Amino acid sequence: MYPVDRLPDKRQTRRSFEQAAGGYDQAAVLQREVGARLLQRLELMKIRPRRILELGCGTGASIPVLMQRYRTAEVVALDIAQAMLTQAARRGRWWRRPRCVCADAERLPFAAGRFDLVFSNLMLQWCVDIEAVFRELRRVLRPGGLLLFTSFGPDTLHELRTSWSQVDDYSHVNAFLDMHDVGDALVKTRFADPVMDVERLTLTYGDIGQLMRELKQIGAHNVTAGRPRGLTGKAHMQRLRQAYEQFRRDGVLPASYEIVNGHAWRAEDVASVSLDQVGRR
């Protein structure tokens, strides 16, 4: 689905979020807002889960709400970065903490049918093979279980991507899957009744340096395989600043985010029986 040079580098992704864990909560304004909206969507779902998996939990900002809403449910927090899990492990009360697991979403260390709900906020865009992730999620969900998630769409940070394209030909901005590609992946992996929609949010900044620092602080800077490997020179940065100025409105620079919202259900497995088998019976 991604061009080869736009695939996320998994080792770099892990390293970025390990380094960002300490200051993540101070900068993750967008992530908290999108997570709060996803929790509101969960209120509309008729589900009383006994076991919840938060996939890509980060520092665990959603965990207290999940625990309060589902007071008897076991909450498992999974992330690829151990430093993020160290922060998430402090969520909740001393008598009820999340169970934290450091693992790759493409190879989940859980038994089949373990969970009733998978909740994932702005994590799927960092996965190399989203179909592999969905296959794993379907495996660990019980029949009737719910997958609820957000991800970034391709128009995310389009101002930054356009500006970099006027500087050089490298991949400087992470690539994100279209809503329809994500929906197709759900269908291919046999999820039932997938529902997808898109929201658009915009953050504003005084200068591009503020945006770049924030992306680095939350671990969301460029982790594509085709990224430039050396330091960005002053001349390149000056050209980038000049290119980004075309987007300035009312004294501020915008950074656009396309938020892909989705949910789907883990349907019952239906055994197929041939007509020949029916005749023999």
Per-residue pLDDT at 171: 74
- Select from 253, 247, 250, 246 the least CA-distant residue to 207: 253
Secondary structure element (H or E) that encloses residue 4, with its range: none
Secondary structure (3-state) at 156: coil
Mean pLDDT of 181-201: 97
Count the neighbouring beta carbons within 10 Å of the beta carbon of residue 71: 7
Q: Has residue 116 got a pLDDT over 90?
A: yes
Distance (Å) of CA 148 to CA 8, 11, 104, 191? 22, 26, 18, 12
Report d(CA 149, CA 82) in Å as an integer. 22
Per-residue pLDDT at 236: 85
Please report, in angstroms and rounded to a whole number, the separation of the first and last CA atoms in the chain: 45
Contact of 241 with 189, CB cutoff 8 Å: no
Q: Has residue 120 got a pLDDT over 90?
A: yes
pLDDT per residue as tens digits for the range 10-65:
888 899 999 999 999 999 999 999 999 999 999 999 999 999 999 999 999 999 99
State the DSSP code for 224: B
Buried residues in 139-149 as b, exposed as e (16+ CB within 10 A): ebbbeebbbbb
Report d(CA 34, CA 41) in Å as an integer. 11
List the beta bridge partners of residue 152: 259
Give CA 154 to chain center in angstroms.
13
- Select from 49, 214, 81 the least CA-distant residue to 145: 49
List the beta bridge partners of residue 91: none
Structural domains in the chain? 4-267 (3.40.50.150)
Size of the chain in residues:
281
Q: Has residue 156 got a pLDDT over 90?
A: yes
Mean pLDDT of 93-117: 96
What band does 219 get if pLDDT is binned at 50, 70 and 90? confident
Buried residues in 105-130 as b, exposed as e (16+ CB within 10 A): bbebebeeebbbbbbbbbbbbbbbeb
Least confident of 12-16, 168-172, 197-201, 222-226: 222-226
What band does 4 get if pLDDT is binned at 50, 70 and 90? very low
Angle at 155 between CA 105 and CA 2, to 5 degrees: 45
Counting residues of the chain whose pLDDT is more than 70, the rounded percentage is 89
